[in-house]
Amino acid sequence: MSDLFAFNGSPSAGYAQPAPLLSADEVSKVIPNSLKRAALPAWPCASEPELVRHYTWLSTRSFGIDTGFYPLGSCTMKHNPRLNERIVLMPGMNDIHPLAPEHHIQGLMAIFYEMQEMLAHCAGMDAVTLQPVAGAQGEFAAMRCIQEYHKQNGEANRNKVIVPDSAHGTNPASATMCGYSIIEIPSGDDGCLDLDALRAVVGKDTAAMMITNPNTLGIFEPEISEAAKIVHNAGGQMYYDGANFNAILGKTSPGLMGFDAVHYNLHKTFSQPHGGGGPGSGPIGVKSHLADFLPAPMVEAIEDDDDGEGAVRFAWFNPSKTIGKVQQWHGNSAAVVRSWAFYRRYGRELEKMSEHAVLNANYLRYRIMNPSSEQAANIHAMPVDGAPAKVVKHEFTLSMSPIKEATGVTGKDIAKRLLDYGYMAPTLYFPMIVPECLMFEPTETESKEAIDAFADDFLAILAEDAEIVTSAPHETPVGRVDEVWAARNLILRHPGNKEK
Amino acid sequence: MVDHLPNLGREQEMLEAMGLSSIDDLFCDIPEGVRRNEPLDLPDPQTEEEILREAQFLLGINVPLNSRPSFLGAGLYSNFVPTMVAMLATRGEFLTAYTPYQPEVSQGMLQALWEFQTMVSELVGLPVSNVSMYDGSTAAAEALTCAIRVHGKKATQPKTVYVSELVPPHRLSVMENYTQGAGIKINKISHDKNGYLDMEAAAKAAGSCAVYVEMPNVMGILDEGLAGLKKVIGQDTALIVGVQPTCLGIIEAPGNWGADIVVGEGQPFGIGPTAGGPIYGLFACSDAYLRQMPGRIVGKTRDSSGKPAFCLTLSTREQHIRRQLATSNICSNETLIALMGAMHMAMLGPQGLADLAVRNAAACESVKRALAPIAGISFVHDASHYNEFAIRIPGTAADCLTHLDEEWDLTGGFDLGEWFDGMDDCLLVCATDQIDGEDIDELASGLASWCKEVGA
C-alpha cells in the first residue's frame, strides 16, 4: 500500500520554483494581517520520483479500456485514440484563454463551427451549441430552452415532463432541476413505449417527453413517430437523450424521428476519454423554433468580402432569447477538439462506426445466448433476454433471474466474477425494469476474438460452482468491497500528513 | 480509411454466424419512415497524419497566453503545471476508465480521488470535499441549491440567497439557470467604492439560506471584512465562499473563518486555461451539508477479508439511484482534471503551495508598482490584491487592448466594460507566476504609450 501522506520529505524543501519577483517578506506586507494563513495545509511532502511511483502504482490498480474489454452498457466505452491527447496538449489549445479576442482564437473557433455544423447534420437539427459539459447538463440546458419556449408562447403552465420507466436517471433529475414535475410511464411487455400509457398522461400541462432511442434495453422504439405525434398534438416538445446515439448515426436521426431537441455525449459517441468519471461534453441540438433560446455564445461564420477571396472569419454570437450560460466559459473546448479529431477519422463514413457497434452487440448477444452443446450441458441456467427482439442496436440486456432461482447466484455476483477473468463488468441492475439485469455494450472497437473470448468466459461462469461466483472476485487487488460499511462510517479523507 | 474497426472486412463472417445476410438486416427494426436515405454530407475520412497536420495548422494560428506577455486572467489563470501531471494522468488506466462503479478493479483511481478530497479539505479548512463539479460557476450554483435544501425549512427568508454584486455576469447567469427551477430569489449585496463588501447590506442576509462571496473577488481584492461575515449573517445562513485556490497558500482557509461551503475554479491546480474546459469545480463543505451535497464522494472502507479499500459512497443522493429526488443531476463530472489537480497539489507540497502563492502575489504587486507612476492611469480600488486588479485608463478599454495587441504584441488584460456598467474605461490586469520583469516593463511601456497617444 502506497500512502501519499506517509512520504516524509523535508516540508521546507517543496517543489522548486523560480524566485518570486518580490521577497516573501515584502509580499507579506501587502497581505492584510487578519487574513494571513496561520498553518499550511497538511499536504504530502514527496519528491517527484516518489510521486511518479505512487501514481504509477495507483494506475496499476485501475481499469480502463486500455486494460481490457469494458462492456459497460449505456456508457459507450470505445477506444480513445492517442492522437487526440497529443492535439489537446498543444499550446494552441491548452494555453488558450476563453476570453481572448476572437482574432487570437480563429483556429479554435473554426473547429467549433465545424463541430456545430457536423453535429446538427448528423442529428437532423437546425442549430447546435457546444457549451454543456456533460450529458446531464445538456439535458438540463435543453429543458431550460423548452421551458422558455413555452413561456414565450404564454404556456408557462406546462409543468410536467414525461419519462419512460426505462430512462436514464439523469432525465428526471435534470427536468426536476428546471422545476418540472415528473410523470413516469411504464414500458410495455416488449420493453418499448406503451402508447396507451403515453396517451393517458399527455395534456395541456405537458411540457415535454424525454426519451432515448434505441432505448436503454437496446431496442429501437418501433412507434417513435407515433409517440412524437401524440406529444406534439398535446403541445409538448420531444427531447432526445443522445446517450445511445452511437447506435444509429447515419442510419436515422432524432430529427427524422420527430424530436425537437437532443443532446450529444461527445464522451460516448465521439470518444472523449471518460477519465474515471469525466470530463464529458454534452452539446445540444435543436430545431429552429428553439434555436433562439440556446446557451450563449455560439460560433458563426462571417464571409469577409474585403479581399475578394471569400475568406471566412469566425465570431461569437448570442442567440436572441438565450437562456444565458450553464457553464461559465465556452464548454469543454478540449473535448470538442478531441471529438473533432475523432470524427475526421471517419468523415462521411461515420455510419460504419454505428454499423460495427451494432454488429458487435448483436454478435455478442448471439454468442452468449447460443452456447455450444458442450457449454450448454454444464450451465446451471441460461439468462433470458431483457426484452424479446430479433435484433438489438448497440447494447442489450440480459436478466440473470433464472440462475438466481436455480443456484442463488445474482447478477452482481456474475459481474464481480467477470472481474476475475480480466473484464470490466457490464452495467448492473439498470434499467430497473429488468430484474437481475446486466447490460452489455461492446462498442465498435472490440475485435471478434475479444468478443468470442468474453462470451466463452461468461458462459463458463454460468457453469461454475455457485460458491466461487458468490464470493467473487478472487483475483483482484482487493476482495469484494463493503459499500455498506463505507456509508455507515463515512471516512471521507485521510488524517493528513501529521509529520509536517 | 477507417482504421479503428478491428472487424472491418469480417462483417460477413460474423453476420453469417448469426444467420443474417447483410448489415441492413441489423437495422431492419428502424421503420421505413424514419430511415436516412442519403449518405452523410461530411468530408472524406482522414489518416492520423492528416488530422495531426490540420490540427497543428488550426491550433497553431491561435495565440497562446505564454507566447507573449499576457495579463488576461478574470477567473482562469496561467499557472505553470509540472510536467509529471499530464504524463501520469494520461496513463490509460486513468484516462480510459469510467466512474469506478466496480471498486475491486478501481482501487487506484478511488484512492487518488480520496487523496484529492483530503488535499482540498486541508486547503480550504472543511472536512468534506467531493471529487469535482463541472467548473467554479456550477459549483457555486449548486452550493446555493444545496444551502436551500439544508436551511430552507427554518429560514425566515426561505428560498432566498444573497450574492455579492461583483460576481461576474457569466457566473451569475449559471447561478440563475440553476436556481430558477426551485423558485429561488437571488438578492445582491453591494460593495463600497474600494470594492469591499458592504457589511450593513450583508446583515440583511441574516435569516436567508445563503450568502455567496469571493476571495479574492473578481477585482482581485482581498477583503478583510469577509473574515467577520459569518458572525453578521448567523449560524442559520450558509456562508459560501468562492476561492482562487492558489491564494490559500498565504490566505487563511475559509473554513477557519466561518465558511460552510467553499467552491472555486480548481483549474490553476492541474491544467492550463484550456479555452475554458475541461477544468473542474471545487466543492467542499462542513458535515451539516454532507447529505445534501451534489457530486461523487469516495469513502474508505474494507473488503471481504477486512483489508482497507475504497469505494464511492453516499450514492443514495445521486441521480442513478434517486432519479427525480436526487440532490443534483450531475453524473459525468471532471474526475480526470481533479486527478491532475491532485497530482499538482501533491507535487507542490505545503511549502510549494506557499511559494506559488507568494509568486502570484509578488507578480501582482510588482505590476501595480510599475503602473502606479504612469500619468493617466489610476487604480479603481484602494485595496490589497491577489493576481489581479482594476485600473482606469484614458479612452476605452477596448481601444487600449487593441493598441497593446497590435502595437506591442501583448495581451493587456480584460475589458471590464464587458461585464460591468460604467467600466468601459477599466482594465482588469492579471499577473500570475508566469509573468516576469520584462513582461511588466513591456506592459508599463505599452500603457504609457497608450496614455500619451490619447493625450492623457
Selecting from A169, A251, A481 the residue whose C-beta is nearest the C-beta of B309 gives: A481
pLDDT tens digits along A445-493:
999 999 999 999 999 999 999 999 999 999 999 999 999 999 999 999 9
Q: For residue B40, what is the nearest residue in chain A, using CA coordinates?
A: A348
B-interface mutation test, from A3, A96, A97, most B Cβ less than 10 A away: A97
CA distances from A277 to A234, B30, B343 (A): 38, 32, 17
How close A178 comes to chain B (CA, Å)?
4
**pLDDT at A500 exceeding the cut of 50:** no
Place of cell 459549483: B139
ipTM computed for the complex: 0.97
Q: Nearest to residue A119, comparing CAs of A329, A288, A262, A10?
A: A262
Contacts of A239 in chain B (CB under 8 A): none
B438: pLDDT confidence band, cut at 50, 70 and 90? very high
Chain B residues lying within 8 Å of A94, measured CB to CB = 64, 271-272, 274
Test A177 with B329 for CB contact under 8 angstroms: yes
Residue A308 has pLDDT above 80, yes or no: no
CA A240 centroid distance within chain: 14
What's A481's DSSP letter? B
pLDDT digits (tens, 9 = 90+) for A364-394: 999 999 999 999 999 999 999 999 899 999 9
Smallest CA–CA distance, residue A436 to chain B, in Å, is 16
pLDDT of residue B39: 96
Contacts of B272 in chain A (CB under 8 A): 94-96
Residue ranges of the alpha helices (H) in A318-391? 333-346, 350-369, 373-378
* Residue from A12, A52, A63 whose CB has the most chain B CBs within 10 Å, to mutate: A63
Does the beta-carbon distance from A87 to B55 stay under 8 Å? yes
* Residues in CB range of B403: below 8 A, 6 or more apart: B446, B449, B450, B453
B292-306: per-residue pLDDT in tens? 999 999 999 999 999
* Contact yes or no for A26 and B362 at CB 8 A: yes
Chain A residues closer than 8 Å to B48 by CB: 81, 83, 345
Cα distance from B301 to chain A (closest Cα, Å)? 5
Summarised one tens digit per residue, pLDDT across range A118-167 is 999 999 999 999 999 999 999 999 999 999 999 999 999 999 999 999 99
pLDDT of A305 > 80? The answer is no
Per-position b or e across B263-299, b if 16+ CB within 10 A of its CB: bbbbbbbbbbbbbbbbbbbbbbbbeebbebbbbbbbb
Q: What pLDDT, on a 0 to 100 scale, did the predictor assign at position A307?
A: 66
Mean pLDDT, all residues of chain B? 96
Domains of chain B from N-terminus onward: 11-60 (no CATH), 66-77+351-453 (3.90.1150.10), 83-345 (3.40.640.10)
Contacts of B235 (CB under 8 A, 6+ apart): none
CA distance B72 to B90: 28
Q: Cβ neighbours of residue A47 under 8 Å, at least 6 residues apart?
A: A7, A9
3-state secondary structure chain B: CCCCCCCCCCHHHHHHHCCCCCHHHHCCCCCHHHECCCCCCCCCCCCHHHHHHHHHHHHHCCCCHHHCCECCCCCCCCCCCCHHHHHHHCCHHHHCCCCCCCHHHCHHHHHHHHHHHHHHHHHHCCCEECCCECCHHHHHHHHHHHHHHHHCCCCCCCCEEEEECCCCHHHHHHHHHHHHCCCCEEEEECECCCCCECHHHHHCCCCCCEEEEEECCCCCECCHHHHHHHHHHCCCCEEEEEECHHHHHCECCHHHHCCCEEEEECCCCCCCCHHHCCCCEEEEECHHHHHHCCCCEEEEEEECCCCEEEEEECHHHCHHHHHHHCCCCCCCCCHHHHHHHHHHHHHHHHHHHHHHHHHHHHHHHHHHHHHCCCCCCEECCCCCECCEEEEECCCCHHHHHHHHHHHHCCECCEEHHHCCCCCCCEEEEECCCCCCHHHHHHHHHHHHHHHHHCCC
Length of chain A: 500
| Confidence tier at A14 by pLDDT (50, 70, 90) | confident
Distance, in angstroms, between B163 CA and closest chain A CA? 16
- How many Å apart are CA B263 and CA B268, to the nearest integer? 14
B301–A172 CB contact, under 8 Å:
no
Tell me which residue in B6, B323, B401 faces A169 most closely, judged by beta carbons: B323
Quote the pLDDT of residue A106: 98
Band the pLDDT of A496: cuts 50, 70, 90: confident
- Average pLDDT, stretch A238-251? 98
| CA A329 – CA B135 distance, rounded (Å) | 9
At residue B166, the pLDDT reads 97
Q: Which of B45-54, B76-85, B112-121, B320-329 has the lowest mean pLDDT?
A: B320-329
Mutate which: B72, B96, B269, B419, vs A, most A CBs within 10 A: B96
When the pLDDT of each residue in chain A is averaged and rounded to a whole number, the result is: 96
pLDDT grade, residue B316 (50/70/90)?
Answer: confident
User: Over the stretch A165-178, which tens digit does the pLDDT of each residue have?
Assistant: 999 999 999 999 99
Any idea which of A308-317, A402-411, B139-148 has the lowest mean pLDDT?
A: A308-317
Q: Looking at the complex, report in whole angstroms how far the Cα of residue B207 sits from the nearest Cα belonging to chain A.
A: 24
The share of chain B scoring above pLDDT 90, in percent, equals: 95
Confidence of residue A499 (pLDDT cuts 50, 70, 90): very low
Closest-CA distance of chain A to residue B281, Å? 11
CB-neighbour burial class of residue A49 (10 A; exposed 0-12, middle 13-18, buried 19+): exposed
Catalogue all structural domains in chain A, each as residue range(s) with its CATH number: 4-60 (no CATH), 85-349 (3.40.640.10), 351-484 (3.90.1150.10)
Which among A331, A391, A415 has the least Cβ separation from residue B276? A331
Residue A401 reports pLDDT greater than 90: yes
Do residues A36 and B61 make contact, with C-beta atoms less than 8 angstroms apart? no
pLDDT tens, A76-135?
999 999 999 999 999 999 999 999 999 999 999 999 999 999 999 999 999 999 999 999
